[in-house]
A and B are shown apart, each in its own frame.
Chain A
Amino acid sequence: GDQVEQSPSALSLHEGTGSALRCNFTTTMRAVQWFRKNSRGSLINLFYLASGTKENGRLKSAFDSKERYSTLHIRDAQLEDSGTYFCAAEAGNTGKLIFGLGTTLQVQP
């Protein structure tokens, strides 16, 4: 079935540095959402893309439906960026989201 492969599963960054998270899709997806899970386990919306790129502060996301991937770039990482990040791709005509397994980010001083 449709799958979302998210990498890396874990990432450690020093403050001020940056990196990228990536999700690959096994089939063409209509759109992608990126979330961060907060300390209480709630999903915080970061981005929703049907194509192209979006930027918000130190975060930037891209989605290429044809090439079947999406990325989330974090620059100038801060301690409060630590947490688990999820991508979720929208499949089919009913909007159901297929989630990746998440990336646990730890930002160190």
Chain B
Amino acid sequence: GPKVLQIPSHQIIDMGQMVTLNCDPVSNHLYFYWYKQILGQQMEFLVNFYNGKVMEKSKLFKDQFSVERPDGSYFTLKIQPTALEDSAVYFCASRRDWEYEQYFGPGTRLTVL
């Protein structure tokens, strides 16, 4: 089936640094999502993005988070500055249109030291 790619698969950084997580969504998809999963807990919605804009964000999407997709390239999640509680696996998802399913990437495991 359609594949969503995420780069890198793992990232280790020091608290306070900036990190950018990259997502390469399916080529003809229009809606993009980030989800966060802390070890042992369920996956939780962070934000969704359509037509260059954030449509909805959860309370987990702190002021230090931002998303963008410049010129149809990677869909990115930037955290600046990072905090210890940002350690988690971040999953990107995309969907073609409103009536279609979301496809998930394999996740980026972020460890903040």
Chain A residues engaging chain B, CB cutoff 8 angstroms: 33, 35, 40-43, 45, 48, 50, 86, 88, 92, 94-102
Chain B residues with CB under 8 A of A98 = 45
Most central of A43, A50, A88 by chain B CB within 10 Å: A43
Chain B residues engaging chain A, CB cutoff 8 angstroms: 1, 31, 33, 35, 42-45, 48, 55-56, 58, 89, 91, 93, 95, 98-107
With A42-B104, A95-B48, A95-B98 known as contacts, the answer to whether A100 contacts B35 (CB < 8 A) is: no
Question: For the complex, what is the distance from the CA of A37 to the CA of B2, rounded to whole Å?
Answer: 16
- Taking the closest CB of chain A, its distance from the CB of B104, in whole angstroms, is 4
Question: For the complex, what is the distance from the CA of A96 to the CA of B106, rounded to whole Å?
Answer: 18
B42 lies within 8 A of A95 (CB): no
Chain B residues with CB under 8 A of A92 = 56
Most central of B35, B101, B106 by chain A CB within 10 Å: B101
- A–B Cβ pairs within 8 angstroms, 12 of them: A41-B107, A43-B91, A48-B101, A92-B56, A94-B48, A94-B56, A95-B48, A96-B33, A96-B58, A97-B43, A99-B42, A99-B44
Chain A residues with CB under 8 A of B35 = 97, 99
A42 lies within 8 A of B102 (CB): no
Q: Which of A33, A42, A94, A95 is in CB contact (< 8 Å) with B106?
A: A42
